[in-house]
Chains A and B, each alone.
Chain A
C-alpha cells in the first residue's frame, strides 16, 4: 500500500489546494487531533515546569535544613536536587517531543502519585482533621492530570524517523489527487 506523508499534504495545501479537496474530512480530522495533542502537551509542560520549580524550592529547603544540622542528611538534599534537575530536563524534553522525556515524566508522575496517595492516606489515619489543600493538589491532582493528558498526547511522541505522520490513501484522496 502506498503511503503519503500527511505533513507533505499539510504543507502543500496552501499552494496545492486540490490535494485537500475530497480528502478534507480525513485530513482535517488528523490535523485537529495533532493540534489538540500539541495543546495538551503545552498544559503538561506547564504542570511539569511547576513541579520542577517546587522541587527546586524543596531542594533549597533541604539545603538550609542540612546547614543547621551539619549536613547529616546530605543524601536527601542530593536526591531532591537531582529530582529537580531531572524534572526540569524532562519539561525541556517534552517541548521537543522526546520519548525519553515522556518516559521520565511518566515514571516521575507515578512516583509522586504513589507517594502522595500514601502520605494522604497516612495523614488521614494519623490525624483525621482533614486533608490539606496544597498537598492534595501537588501530590494527587497534578500527577493524575499529567498522566491522563500524557496518555492522550501519546501520539506526539514518535521516533525521529516516524516524526512525519502518514495517512493511508483513500479513494477520496486518490480521486482528489
Chain B
C-alpha cells in the first residue's frame, strides 16, 4: 500500500490501478495520445520515411533515367527531353506534384484495404499524370484542375489531417503557386491566380482545423478511435470501469481537497496565500500560485497549484482547482485508473504582448508573430469543487452546460455541499485548523 505524502491524514493509494489501454490502434500502455494534427500517424509512417529519403531517391532516380536515356530507351529519352526542354519553374512544379503522387502511393501500403485505399491510389495516378503534363507543358488546364482537385478532396475527405497529409498539400500548393505565376498574359484569370493560391492555402488550413476538431470524440475519421482536442495530450485509456479501491481513493482525495480549499471562496484569502487571482473573468478563471510550481508536492489537497473561479451575479465563486506536475513533460500519477485522468498540452502558442495563451500552432507550422510555440507542458488535472457537481464530473472535464447553469442559478450556487459521512472528518479537521489559525492570529494581534 502506498500513501499520498504531504497530507495530515494519509490517503491510501490503490496497489494495482486498472491497466491503461485504449481503443486507439498503435498505442500501448503508458503512451500519451495527442491530436494527429501534430503527429505522423502510424499508417503514414512509410510515406514519411519516404519523404525524408526523397532527395536521395530523386538523385538516384534521375541518374538511372539519364542512363536509360543514353541507352536510347524510348520513354527515358522522351522524359529527359521533356525535362531539359522545360523551364525551371515547370520542372520544379512537376517535381513537387510528382513527390506528392509518390507519397499518395506510399499511403496505399500503409492502410487496410478500403475505399480510402482506392482514393489514395487514384490520387497517386492522377497526380502522376498531372506532373507529366506540367513537365511537358501540355494539358495545362487539366493539370491545374487535377492538383486543385486533390487539394479540395483533402478538405472534405482528409480528416483527421496529420503532418504527412499536410506536407502533401504543401507540395501541391507549391506546385500550384508555380503554375499560377503571372506572365505577360494580363487576363483577369492570370491576375487573380496568386490570390487564388493564397485562398487555397487559407482554406486548406481551415479544413485541417475542422478535421482535427471533428475527429475529437467522433468516429475519428477514417483512422477510427477517439482523439483529444488539438493541443491536448491525454494518457491512453481503455478500461472505463474503475475498481472499488480506485473509486474510494479518488473520493477520499476529492473531499479532502474540497475541505482544504473552502477558505479560498474569498479571492482575497487566495491572493494573500500567493495565488495570482487578478481580475476574474468568465466561467473558468485560473489563478495560479507560482510558488507551488515545482515545489515537489504532487496532487496535494492542501496545495493545489491553481484555483478556478467563475463569475456569478453575486461576485466570483470558487468552482474548482487545478493540480499541476512539477516539470515539462512530467506525467501525472495514474493511481485512480480511469477516474483521475491527467492531461497535458502540446504545441500551444504563448504570447508576449501581453503574456498569455495566443492560440495553437498552425497546421502549416508556426505561431502568430509575437508568440512562441511551447511544444509540451507538464501534466495537469482539473477537479471541480462546486456543491452538487455530479460524481462522474468530480475530476477532469465538467459539462459546460452544467457549469453555466451553476453560475447563473442563484439557488444552485448558494447551496452547500452534501458531504458523505465518512468524509466529514476532513471538514472538521479543516475547521479546527482554521479556528486554531484564527485564534493564533488574534493572539498575535493582541500581543502586538
Seen from chain A, the residues whose Cβ lies within 8 Å of a Cβ on chain B are 36, 39-40, 42-43, 45-47, 49-50, 52-54, 56-62, 64-65, 69-70, 72-73, 75-77, 79-80, 82-83, 88, 91, 95, 115-116, 119, 122-123, 126-127, 132-139
Contact = CB atoms under 8 A, between A and B. Distances in A.
Contacts of A58: 362, 366-369
B74 interface: no
A56 B195 CA distance: 11
Contacts, number: 169
Contacts of B201: 50, 53-54, 56-57
A123 B359 CA distance: 17
A88 to B, nearest CB: 7
Contact of A127 (B48, B205, B346, B370): B346
A38 to B, nearest CB: 9
B92 interface: yes
Contacts of A83: 369
* Chain B residues touching A, range: 35 or more
Interface in B323-375: 328-329, 346, 351, 353-354, 356-375
Contact of A133 (B48, B329, B359): B48
Contact of A39 (B88, B346, B354, B372): B88
Contact of B88 (A43, A123, A137): A43
A139 B205 CA distance: 16
Interface in B197-251: 197-202, 205-206, 209
B151 interface: no
A91 B178 CA distance: 13
Contact of B178 (A42, A72, A122, A135): A42
Contacts of A49: 177, 180, 194, 197-198
B184 to A, nearest CB: 12
Given A115-B372, A133-B164, A134-B365, 11 more contacts: A47-B177, A49-B180, A54-B366, A61-B205, A75-B370, A76-B351, A122-B372, A127-B328, A127-B346, A137-B170, A139-B366
Given A54-B362, A132-B38, A134-B170, A77 B198 contact: no
B51 interface: yes
B173 interface: yes
B87 interface: yes
B178 A43 contact: yes
A92 B328 CA distance: 43
A64 B360 CA distance: 11
Contacts of B181: 42, 45-46
